[in-house]
């Protein structure tokens, strides 16, 4: 940074230029031109970077003088430096685009830049011994999931819950068979019409009676008549009420428990985070199974394409930018974790910049800062409202089984519809064939009678040969 002394006591120095090293973290600060092509060229650029040696990389230091820098910090810092240091916009040079947080810290330590941003600071206004200026506080992080993957897990939970009720079903069926055997033994001698003496037929009739009695249907086609059989019938009906209620309650409880089961914490969950980010610290704090990635696009591929993780944990402002930029309907916001974290920039020393002015400016001009923030994340509110993983989608898993947009529902609906139409067609064709056969049977005897009368008349006119 070069300066020009204006002279006079109390007068401030006018800087010719201010060099800023920055880390690409949308929407705080980013290269607008490079955002669209970054994901496509990432693989090819990796090979090119592997060929280059370290000395060339250090000399180059990712110089980005011609990049189109945009973002929340870009606007706020530019205005702040102009107000506090009377620096024209052209004197602010975003010279070094850091590869990662470590590289960003090195630019300040080696005095390759006057300002490095964005960084996460602390309450003591210090960052590694250097002056730290807070610009804003991040409201928290959001957990982004693959909507289709989440719905698949929900369906599987419901199916597993239904499968877990098999002991109740088995016990109910065994008791039903046992009751059928007893009622046959008690009533077969005096009531062979309803409960035949044959073991196979009698027990089957007894099981049928026990089943319809247990469900309180009671068709009345099979009735115990002996005293002991009727007493047992009363006991079995009362027992059946308990069994049916218990079976229904168990089945409903299994479905309900799976339906209301939400992911309330990240304990043990496979979470993708950007390395050295605020979300990384939050994921560790919630005991998540953390997997770090260099950028959001790699996390997106791991979640949607490769399905290596269960979700993405990202700063809410960063998530707003990428969800709007990617615009994939499969992405949905599942949870929000409120955790304020100071974000700002670090400078090489208070003697170079009017740090006090900048701190007071950013502290008391929060209304203007919030306007800039809203301008950059306004699309996020619409996207979140349209693609949020709602309570109905996340918790009502039985409804997901009947979700009109799901492949399962469409396949089942088409199969049932085709089967129903075929059954109707076969039924109408069967009725038509039966009607034709009946018509033929009714007309055939009449024709036979007419032919018989004609033959009798012919025979009457004939004289036998003698």
* Residue-wise pLDDT tens digits, 15-35: 567 889 999 998 899 987 765
Residue 398: in which H helix or E strand, if any? helix 397-401
Whether the per-residue pLDDT at 384 is higher than 80: the answer is no
The pLDDT of residue 95: 81
The pLDDT of residue 447: 55
* pLDDT cut 70: percent of the chain above it: 74
The residue-averaged pLDDT of 94-111 equals 86
What is the CB neighbour count within 10 angstroms for residue 71?
Answer: 24
The pLDDT of residue 413: 86
Whether the per-residue pLDDT at 63 is higher than 70: the answer is no
Q: Decide: 84 and 11 in contact? Cβ < 8 Å.
A: no
What is the CB neighbour count within 10 angstroms for residue 418?
Answer: 10
C-alpha–C-alpha distance, residues 229 and 225, integer Å: 7
| Count of all residues that appear for the chain in the document | 466
- Of 214-218, 307-311, 450-454, the one with minimum mean pLDDT is 450-454
The pLDDT of residue 465: 55
Residue 465: partners with Cβ closer than 8 Å, 6 or more residues away? none
Tens-place pLDDT, residues 241-266: 898 888 888 888 777 765 555 556 88
The residue-averaged pLDDT of 94-101 equals 85
Helix and strand element counts for the chain (H, E): 16, 13
The residue-averaged pLDDT of 351-378 equals 84
Tens-place pLDDT, residues 309-360: 999 999 998 888 888 888 888 888 888 898 888 999 998 754 456 788 888 9
Beta strands in 219-288 (DSSP E): 270-274
The pLDDT of residue 257: 66
Pairing of strands 69-70, 14-15: unpaired
Is the model more confident about 305 or about 392?
Answer: 305
Is the model more confident about 61 or about 457?
Answer: 457
Whether the pTM exceeds 0.75: the reply is no
The pLDDT of residue 461: 62
DSSP letter at 13?
P
Burial annotation 2-33 (CB, 10 A radius, 16+ → b, else e): eeeeeeeeeeebebebbbbbbbbbbbbbbbee
Whether the per-residue pLDDT at 129 is higher than 90: the answer is no
Tokens of 285: 């704090």
The pLDDT of residue 97: 87
Tens-place pLDDT, residues 398-449: 445 555 666 777 888 889 999 999 999 999 999 899 888 888 777 655 555 5
Whether the per-residue pLDDT at 126 is higher than 70: the answer is yes
Tens-place pLDDT, residues 202-217: 999 999 999 988 887 7
The residue-averaged pLDDT of 89-115 equals 85
Q: How confident is the model at residue 3 (pLDDT cuts 50, 70, 90)?
A: very low
Whether the per-residue pLDDT at 377 is higher than 60: the answer is yes
Beta bridge partners of 132: 346
The residue-averaged pLDDT of 122-128 equals 80
The residue-averaged pLDDT of 66-95 equals 82
Write down the mean pLDDT value for the chain.
Answer: 79
């Amino acid at each position: 940074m070069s300066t020009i002394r204006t002279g006079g006591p109390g007068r401030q120095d006018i800087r010719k230029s201010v060099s800023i090293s920055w880390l690409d973290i949308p929407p705080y600060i980013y290269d607008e031109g490079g955002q669209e092509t970054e994901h496509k060229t990432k693989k090819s650029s990796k090979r090119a970077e592997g060929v280059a040696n370290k000395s060339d990389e250090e000399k180059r230091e990712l110089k980005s003088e011609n990049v189109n820098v945009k973002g929340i910090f870009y606007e706020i810092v530019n205005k702040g430096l102009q107000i506090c240091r009377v620096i024209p916009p052209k004197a602010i040079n975003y010279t070094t685009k850091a590869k990662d947080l470590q590289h960003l810290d090195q630019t300040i330590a080696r005095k390759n830049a006057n300002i490095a941003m964005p960084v996460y600071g602390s309450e003591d206004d210090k960052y590694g011994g250097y002056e730290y200026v807070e610009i804003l506080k991040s409201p928290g992080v959001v957990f982004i999931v693959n909507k289709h993957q989440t719905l698949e897990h929900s369906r599987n939970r419901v199916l597993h819950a239904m499968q877990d009720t098999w002991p109740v079903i088995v016990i109910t069926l065994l008791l039903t068979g046992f009751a059928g055997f007893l009622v046959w033994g008690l009533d077969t001698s005096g009531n062979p019409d309803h409960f035949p003496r044959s073991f196979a037929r009698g027990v089957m009739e007894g099981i049928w009676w026990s089943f319809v009695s247990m469900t309180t249907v009671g068709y009345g086609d099979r009735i115990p008549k002996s005293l002991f059989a009727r007493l047992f019938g009363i006991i079995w009906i009362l027992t059946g009420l308990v069994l049916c209620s218990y079976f229904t309650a168990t089945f409903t409880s299994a479905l309900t428990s799976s339906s209301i089961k939400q992911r309330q914490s990240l304990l043990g969950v496979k979470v993708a985070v950007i390395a050295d980010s605020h979300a990384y610290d939050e994921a560790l704090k919630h005991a998540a199974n953390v997997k770090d990635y260099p950028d959001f696009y790699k996390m997106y591929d791991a979640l949607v394409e490769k399905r290596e993780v269960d979700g993405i944990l990202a700063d809410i402002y960063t998530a707003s930018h990428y969800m709007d930029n990617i615009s994939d309907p499969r992405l949905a916001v599942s949870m929000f974790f409120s955790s304020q974290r100071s974000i700002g920039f670090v400078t090489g020393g208070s003697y170079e910049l009017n740090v006090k002015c900048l701190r007071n400016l950013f502290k008391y001009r929060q209304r203007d800062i919030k306007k800039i923030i809203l301008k950059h994340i306004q699309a996020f509110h619409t996207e979140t409202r349209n693609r949020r993983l709602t309570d109905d989608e996340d918790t009502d898993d039985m409804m997901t089984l009947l979700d009109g947009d799901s492949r399962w529902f469409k396949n089942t609906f088409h199969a049932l519809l085709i089967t129903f139409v075929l059954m109707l067609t076969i039924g109408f064709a069967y009725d038509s064939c039966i009607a034709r056969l009946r018509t033929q049977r009714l007309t055939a005897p009449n024709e036979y009678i007419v032919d018989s009368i004609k033959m009798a008349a012919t025979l009457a006119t004939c004289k036998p040969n003698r």
